Structure 1
């Protein structure tokens, strides 16, 4: 039995289901995209689709980035991450990103695609596969998270691309994921669900006591072996104004690691099954 199959039969089954639902929503909305659609319209379509399929809350509401915004071109403030009135054009790349919550289970996914032909996007997507392999191998070797981040940077340099996950708040390439348990009323503040944020902040306080962080970046606080649990991992690369990424959950145990589920769109693409 594969690790992914094991994950579906154990306590991770709810996370597998949520991740598949989130990706199904992204694919469904991607199929509706056409020239003239704005980022805000795409994000609203994804939010509505997920609500219609039982999503009750959010770690963060859906994002959509079109064109050179997929590469975070000239992003300098957090507000620039939110969906804009940028309209999709033929040949443009896009990224859909969402983090829904249902029955306390969370998913956080990123889905990259294009409208029409875009050879740069296609090459980036092909090269992105190497990051999934590298990250898993390095985590299995129990290398410090900070050093794995540096290895990812080195691969980006070798491929001749730009590191765009370093533009995310905190320069994070990943963050821990846990079931959402909170008595706070459901509310969204600046695109983030307050109940999921409370869970993350609680994890942050606990991890800081152990001189660790639930946020994986290139700072000193990430100079420790991979912490057991679930991590939403999102390497993001770009070239000539085109950005691509995947985001999916990685399971880390005391002595091993494996991707939560191999039935994700980017892996199926690399295997030629889609």
Structure 2
């Protein structure tokens, strides 16, 4: 059985610092976006920013999706996730996503925006995403199974008139664990943009999950039909419009302990208009 993660307050603070750095990188690149820029160029700007600030490896290197690719329209293989030569136009939805590691601490974030002007559908999706954020924490505190929470999120998405895009991710994940590792040269080896070390942990763990052992993945399959597992979880609800033209997501770390759960940091970009005291809450 997989070892469950229990982090100290100091360790969680390090995860929080890396998460903030990752969000800083995509917000910096947001200011550099111009018409005609490609997804590949935007992704490289994210990597340049992070490399210059001490990132030593990546769970996965930066992703950038423009236009209908934010809704994963036409994605039928894992290779479609990687940045392309799609060029940016005013009014396009944009998603930037990256998972850097600093001194063994990993964060995985997603950031959505509309380039150059307001986008009404994107605004509606973002409002639903904030409701989902509140719902996920509420249900984890109520000790619903991971599978039940996923299914509840699905109902919220359908009721709001949107589609579930995170089911297109490998193994249909709504989230996955993030861990602390010992950084070495091995961490700089990547396979299809993902860290070889992290894949060495993640893939066997996913196989274990198929056989009902605790899995590092959170989805709506049998492997997630269990109560919340202690650890740091990168949660990434991803919604798409029914016409397949617009998608949006956020991704951030949810901390689960033996007796409570809370978002690692409420001071994240998608909460900018609704900032509130830290949401650390003790379960009843």
| TM-score, with structure 2 as normaliser | 0.89
Contact 1:129–1:270 (8 Å) recurs in 2: no
The residue number in structure 2 matching 1:54 is 54
1:72-111 equivalences under 5 Å are 72-111=72-111
**Separation in 2 of the partners of 1:205 and 1:265?**
34
Q: Which residue of 2 aligns with 1:229?
A: 231
* Cα 1:182/1:29, change in 2 over 3 Å: closer
2:250 corresponds to 1:249: no
Specify whether residues 253 and 207 from structure 1 end up closer, same or farther in structure 2 by C-alpha distance, changes over 3 A only. Answer: farther
Deviation for aligned residue 1:210:
6.8
SS at match of 1:11: helix
Give unmatched runs, 5+ long, in structure 1: 1-6
Post-superposition offset of 1:206: 7.1
2:4 is aligned to none
Distance of 2:74 and 2:37 partners within structure 1: 22
Normalized against structure 1, the TM-score is what? 0.92
Which secondary structure state, in structure 2, belongs to the residue aligned with residue 98 of structure 1? strand
**Does the 8 A contact of 2:177 with 2:233 survive in 1?**
yes
Structure 2: distance between partners of 1:58 and 1:260: 20
1:40-94 per-position Cα deviation (integer Å, ceiling 9, x unaligned): 0000000111001110101000000000000000110111100011111010010
Matched position secondary structure for 1:12: helix
1:4 corresponds to:
none
Task: Find the counterpart in structure 2 of residue 42 from structure 1.
Answer: 42
Question: Cα RMSD between the aligned structures?
Answer: 1.9
Q: 1:265 aligns with which of 256, 265, 269?
A: 269
| 1:157 corresponds to | 158
Gap change, CA 1:271 and 1:119, over 3 Å in 2: farther
Match of 1:176 in 2: 177
In structure 2, the residue matched to 1:14 is: 14
Aligned residue pairs, count: 266
CA distance in structure 1 between the partners assigned to 2:26 and 2:136 by the alignment:
24
Residues 103 and 182 in structure 2, CA contact (< 8 A), matched pair in contact too: no
Q: What is the Cα deviation at residue 209 of structure 1?
A: 7.9
| In 1: Cα distance, 2:165 partner to 2:49 partner | 28
Q: Kindly tell me: are residues 87 and 127 of structure 1, through their superposed partners in 2, closer, same or farther at Cα, counting changes over 3 Å?
A: same
Say whether the 8 Å CA contact 1:182–1:198 is kept in structure 2.
Answer: no
